[in-house]
Each structure stands twice: as structure tokens, then as C-alpha cells.
Chains A and B, each alone.
Chain A
Amino acid sequence: DQQVKQNSPSLSVQEGRISILNCDYTNSMFDYFLWYKKYPAEGPTFLISISSIKDKNEDGRFTVFLNKSAKHLSLHIVPSQPGDSAVYFCAASLYNQGGKLIFGQGTELSVKP
């Protein structure tokens, strides 16, 4: 049972344009959401997070939006750069389960010059 889903396995965007990566979840009790960036043969690196009490968090070119009623979050990258090309994972956690992370399947972003 996939509690966190990223339905787009890949996304291709032109440099300078906006990249929008989407993530859906099924458990309304999740209270914290995170986005990670991963290169091949490397571990994920933290990008940005959002608490369930917020609907937006911004850090430089990266903004995460949370729509609790739709159980949906998205990561916006603007402007996109070739160095952003990687696999992006969203993850959700539940404080009363020790905060363990449940990951989506990942979306491979390719930013073309």
C-alpha cells in the first residue's frame, strides 16, 4: 500500500522555466513533509520541508505548497537550472510513529539548457 505517491516518473523542463513536481498522500495524519534530491549512486539530500500547519514554505528558488484537503503537495523550482537535474523524492512522516519517513517513488527531473 503506497501511502506516498509521485505519479510522474519523469519531467523535462527548459532552463529558466518553472519545474513543478507533485506528490499525493493517503494518510491524513501525516504531520510533516519533506523533499529530497538524489543523484545516482548517492544518498538523498534534504531540500525543503513543510509542517502540516502551514500551506507554503519558500527557500530561495524552491517553494513547497501543501493542500491538506486534497492530500497533495508540490515542489516548485523557479527558475530551473541544469544543475537541478536529479531525482526528487517527497517524503511524509508521522510524529507519533517516531517520525519515520515514508517516501514516494521519485520523479526524475531533467532541465535542458
Chain B
Amino acid sequence: GAVVSQHPSWVICKSGTSVKIECRSLDFQATTMFWYRQFPKQSLMLMATSNEGSKATYEQGVEKDKFLINHASLTLSTLTVTSAHPEDSSFYICSARTDQEFFGPGTRLTVL
């Protein structure tokens, strides 16, 4: 199947700093990528849909100014968590879609 990578796999940062997470489709091009967040023992919650060359579409309740999404090419989408706070600590997962949706391995963000 298609491979989606994420970098970094884990990151620890101080409160107030910004963190960038990259999502790459390694062997296919994806016009659409998705960003999810998962809290422990909970469901994956869709945060936003990232469209190459256009603005991302955010789900209700997700602050677009806090979670900046850039889909600069057909193989790369980035999520930047700005002014991170401890409550932003979570597992962030991206996915890219061809005929089906392929998920990245996730990024564990811990904000101190």
C-alpha cells in the first residue's frame, strides 16, 4: 500500500513556542490530506482537510489561527501548532487519500 510519513515522530516543547509537523506521501501524490488529533483512549478527531494549492478547511471548533496548515505540494502538508499550550499535548495523525485513505504513523506532541 501507499506510504505516508510524518516528522517528527515525537516532540517536546515549551509552552508558548510553535511546533511544525510534516506529513509526506512517499510514493504517490495527494491533492487532499487530512489532519487528526487523538487524545488518550479517545477517537481520532478530524481537525482539518488540507487541499494542495488552496486554503485548508477546518472542522467546527478548531482554531485556524492556532493550527496553521500549509499544503505546498502534492506530497507535503504541514501542521504548525502556534503558541502551544499544555492542553495541545496530543497525538497528531495525518492521512492522504488516493483510492483509500492512508495514515501516517503519528506525532506525539508534549507541551510543558
A16 in the interface, Cβ–Cβ < 8 Å? no
Q: Do the beta carbons of B49 and A43 come within 8 Å of each other?
A: no
Residues of chain A contacted by B105 (CB below 8 angstroms) = 41-43
What DSSP secondary structure best describes chain B's contact surface? strand
Q: Do the beta carbons of A43 and B106 come within 8 Å of each other?
A: yes
Residues of chain A contacted by B43 (CB below 8 angstroms) = 2, 4, 89, 103-106
Instruction: Give the number of residues in A that approach B within 8 Å (Cβ atoms).
Output: 21
**A-B Cβ contacts below 8 A, count:** 52
Q: Do the beta carbons of A98 and B49 come within 8 Å of each other?
A: yes
Q: Do the beta carbons of B44 and A103 come within 8 Å of each other?
A: yes
Instruction: Give the number of residues in B that approach A within 8 Å (Cβ atoms).
Output: 26
Interface residue ranges of B1-31 to A (CB < 8 Å): 1, 4, 6, 9
A100 in the interface, Cβ–Cβ < 8 Å? yes
- A positions within 8 Å CB-CB of B: 2, 4, 9, 36, 41-46, 49, 89, 98-106
Interchain residue pairs with CB less than 8 A apart (14): A42-B105, A43-B4, A43-B93, A43-B103, A43-B106, A46-B101, A89-B43, A100-B46, A101-B101, A103-B44, A104-B43, A105-B41, A105-B42, A105-B43
B95 in the interface, Cβ–Cβ < 8 Å? yes
Residues of chain A contacted by B4 (CB below 8 angstroms) = 43
Residue-wise interface mask of B (86-112) relative to A, using a CB-CB cutoff of 8 A (1 in contact, 0 not): 000001010101001111111010000
